[in-house]
């Protein structure tokens, strides 16, 4: 009997182990990446044979995408790529929005304190690192780490590149910048003399910008690079040991030769536009026109709906803030949301909700990007509109309140039938201005990966490394939008002024009866 029980227990344990191993099979593997860090990952307007779809009707391609596809295939799980800003990758991993980070991320000591890492999925043994400089600049002939004396050199923050800066002799310190597009534009504008880059990225920037050149610093006179510096790995939640093991097992199926072939393919995949400034602008617009259009429509939709809902929130707060209970609550709401930047609110709301509610994922909600954006813009706008509407109410003659009270109107009826129609009319210009402001301010939502115009533009700039040309297009779109809606707002204000000038509330004859009825 005991023998049978022992066999039964062994079978149950075996089945339990098998069940835990296959529990996630078929579940999506959610991988976070920038989709804006060529050649590792970049955004496309149209699909290719090697790309994967992402939110907003876009596609992501690159070396990281190919590695992610192999890993997901080996694990028997469908791949879902979540386009996320670099700053949000680790936080999104920690709060469960994504399962893994495959984004050309090096396993630095600081990052290892926050998340776990797989074995490297690419090690750049051959060319390692170098410095990008101006082709006609004073450091174009540099060949070693000692040739950059007095040069202003920077690097991407949070990477091994910062450590490599210490090996460049007698350089002038400069703050580290957040990404390569920013470094590129700082170099082109003359703020920098150069910046550190890995070979793949340096070659891409060199190819996209003929005025720049990538200087490889290897050998005895070059950078001293450890294997950890040259390698990139998959980031995983520290507690998920099983996933790390499964990813490592999948990576073992990719030989070094195939890794290098995939990287070469990624480097050669991007078409680089050539010509003068205006020709490059035209080429970027031609290749990415649908992305710019989609980002513009998303910006307009979020701005319009967010402003409308924000107006309703502000109206509600303004109407209900005069009681002992609601007055301090309204004061706290208005103070907090008017006193903090929308970007900070977006970060706290997006990641804070996920941290508070274990297992919650924004991606599980249909159209989650729009939901997040509209909530953030609405709440922020509501705080401003509440004060604006309050000012509109206070501008109305107090005699109207007293007259309504004398006629037996309740406070609610007075607000609804007499005060609010006038107050709302007074704040329509402010509401229009708030809408125009929101068109521009939605750009801060890129921090939580909302696919509005600025986020789309940043992805294009990070892919082409033609930053000035890309954001010239973006600036023109914003300018056209705000100009059109400013013109419409001025037209509405003129119409309202004419209407007010032709309206009088004073009877033409003192003997003319004036009937005021309740209801």
**96 closest CA partner among 245, 232, 243:** 243
What pLDDT is recorded for position 127?
A: 53
- Range of 148-152, 220-224, 281-285 with top mean pLDDT: 148-152
Distance set, CA 14 to CA 8, 22, 75, 192 (Å): 10, 12, 20, 61
Nearest residue to 265 via CA among 469, 465, 63: 63
pLDDT score recorded for residue 502: 55
* Residue 362: predicted pLDDT: 81
Q: Read out DSSP for 204-269? A: HHHHH-TTEEEEE--STTS----HHHHEEEEEE-TT-HHHHHHHHHHHTTS-HHHHHHHHHHHHHH
Given a cut of 70, whether residue 81 has pLDDT beyond it is yes
Residue 309, pLDDT above cutoff 80: yes
Instruction: With cut-offs at 50, 70 and 90, classify the pLDDT of residue 474.
Output: very high
Stretch 5-9: mean pLDDT, rounded? 50
The mean-pLDDT minimum among 21-25, 247-251, 323-327, 359-363 falls in: 21-25
Distance in angstroms (rounded) separating the CA atoms of residues 440 and 436: 7
Please state the φ and ψ torsions of residue 81, each to the nearest 5 degrees. -95, 125
The mean-pLDDT minimum among 159-168, 197-206, 279-288 falls in 197-206
Residues 273, 208: Cα–Cα separation, whole Å: 7
Homologous superfamily of 129-224 in CATH?
Periplasmic binding protein-like II (3.40.190.10)
pLDDT of 346 over the 70 cut: yes
pLDDT (tens digit per residue) in 141-169: 999 999 999 999 999 987 889 989 999 99
| Tokens describing residue 182 | 């920013």
**How many residues are present in the chain?**
519
The tens digit of pLDDT for each residue in 498-512 reads 766 554 444 444 344
Q: What percent of the chain has pLDDT over 70?
A: 89
pLDDT at 17: 45
User: Residues 415-422: what's their mean pLDDT?
Assistant: 76
CA dist 304 to 182, 345, 436, Å?
30, 19, 9
Same CATH topology for 26-123+231-269 and 129-224: the answer is yes
* 15 confidence band (pLDDT: 50, 70, 90): very low
Domain 26-123+231-269: CATH architecture, name and number where available: 3-Layer(aba) Sandwich (3.40)
Query: 207 or 240: which carries more pLDDT confidence?
Result: 240
Q: What angle do CA 483, 487, 489 make, to 5 degrees?
A: 115
- CA 485, CA 305: separation in Å to the nearest integer? 15
pLDDT of 16:
46
Higher per-residue pLDDT: 14 or 81: 81
Nearest to 434 by CA among 380, 392, 475, 491: 380
The pLDDT of 194-211, averaged and rounded, is 89
User: CA-CA distance, 173 to 166, in Å (whole number)?
Assistant: 10
Backbone angles phi, psi at 398, to 5 degrees: -65, -20
CA-closest candidate to residue 443, choices 398, 487, 474: 474
- What's 277-501's CATH class? mainly alpha
d(CA 82, CA 92): 10
Evaluate the CA torsion angle 95, 298, 366, 67 in order and state its sign. Answer: negative
Q: Name the band, by pLDDT with cuts 50, 70 and 90, for residue 273.
A: low
Q: What is the DSSP string of 394-405?
A: HTS-HHHHHHHH
- The pLDDT confidence band at residue 368, using thresholds 50, 70 and 90, is confident
Q: Judge whether 185 and 144 are in contact, CB under 8 Å.
A: no
Please give the Cα distance from 281 to 273 (Å, whole number): 9
- At 123, phi and psi to the nearest 5? -125, 120
491 compared with 227, residue with greater pLDDT: 491
Q: How do strand 153-154 and strand 116-123 relate by DSSP bridges?
A: unpaired
Higher-confidence position of 198 and 413 = 198
Q: Is 39 a residue whose pLDDT tops 50?
A: yes
Angle between helices 420-441 and 277-320 (to 10 degrees): 150
pLDDT of amino acid 381: 96
d(CA 379, CA 476): 28
Per-residue pLDDT at 76: 95
Cβ atoms 451, 295 nearer than 8 A: yes
| pLDDT for residue 271 | 66
Q: Which residues contact 231 (CB under 8 A, 6 or more apart)?
A: 106, 107, 120, 122, 123, 124
Q: Quick one: how far is CA 250 from the chain centroid?
A: 30
The domain segmentation of the chain, as residue ranges, is 26-123+231-269, 129-224, 277-501
Mean pLDDT of the chain: 86
pLDDT tier at 416, thresholds 50, 70, 90: confident
């Amino acid at each position: 009997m005991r023998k049978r029980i022992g066999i039964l227990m062994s079978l149950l344990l075996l089945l339990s182990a098998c069940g835990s191993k296959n529990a996630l099979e078929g579940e999506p593997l959610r991988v976070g990446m920038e989709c804006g860090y060529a050649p590792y990952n970049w955004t496309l307007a149209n699909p290719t044979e090697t790309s994967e779809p992402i939110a907003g009707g876009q596609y992501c391609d690159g070396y990281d995408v190919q590695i992610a596809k192999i890993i997901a295939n080996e694990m028997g799980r469908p791949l879902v790529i979540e386009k996320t800003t670099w700053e949000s990758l680790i936080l999104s991993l920690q709060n469960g929005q994504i399962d893994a980070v495959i984004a050309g991320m090096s396993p630095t000591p600081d990052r290892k304190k926050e998340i776990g890492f797989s074995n490297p999925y690419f090690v750049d043994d051959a060319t390692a690192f170098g410095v990008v400089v101006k082709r006609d600049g004073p450091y174009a002939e540099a060949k070693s780490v000692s040739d950059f004396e007095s040069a202003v050199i920077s690097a991407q923050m949070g990477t091994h590149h910062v450590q490599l800066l210490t090996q460049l002799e007698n350089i002038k310190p400069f703050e580290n910048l957040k990404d390569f597009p920013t470094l590129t534009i700082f170099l082109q504008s003359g703020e920098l003399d150069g910046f550190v880059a890995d070979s793949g990225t340096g070659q891409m920037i060199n190819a996209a910008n003929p005025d720049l050149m990538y200087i490889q610093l290897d050998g005895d006179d070059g950078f001293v690079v450890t294997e950890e510096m040259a390698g990139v790995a998959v980031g995983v939640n520290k507690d998920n040991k099983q996933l790390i093991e499964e990813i490592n097992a999948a990576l073992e199926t990719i030989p070094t030769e195939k890794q290098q072939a995939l990287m070469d393919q990624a480097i050669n995949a991007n078409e680089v536009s050539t010509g003068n400034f205006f020709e490059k602008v035209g080429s970027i617009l031609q290749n990415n026109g649908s992305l710019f259009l989609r980002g513009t429509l998303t910006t307009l939709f979020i701005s319009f709906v967010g402003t409308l809902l924000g107006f309703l929130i502000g109206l509600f707060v303004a109407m209900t803030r005069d009681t002992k209970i609601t007055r301090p609550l309204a004061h706290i709401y208005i103070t907090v949301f008017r006193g903090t930047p929308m970007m900070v609110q977006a970060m706290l709301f997006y990641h804070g909700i996920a941290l508070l509610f274990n297992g919650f994922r924004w991606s599980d909600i249909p159209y989650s990007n729009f939901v997040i954006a509209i909530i953030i813009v609405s709440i922020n706008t509501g705080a401003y509109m509440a004060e604006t509407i309050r000012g509109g109410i206070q501008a109305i003659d107090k005699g109207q309140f007293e007259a309504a009270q004398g006629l037996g109107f309740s406070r609610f009826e007075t607000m609804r039938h007499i005060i609010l129609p006038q107050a709302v009319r007074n704040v329509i210009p402010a509401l229009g201005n708030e809408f125009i402001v929101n068109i521009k301010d939605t750009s801060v939502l890129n921090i939580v990966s909302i696919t509005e115009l600025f986020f789309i533009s940043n992805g294009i700039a990070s892919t082409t490394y033609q930053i000035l040309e890309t954001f010239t297009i973006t600036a023109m779109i914003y300018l056209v939008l705000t100009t059109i809606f400013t013109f419409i707002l001025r037209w509405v204000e003129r119409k309202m002024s004419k209407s007010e000038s032709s309206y009088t509330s004073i009877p033409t004859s003192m003997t003319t009866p004036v009937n005021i009825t309740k209801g």
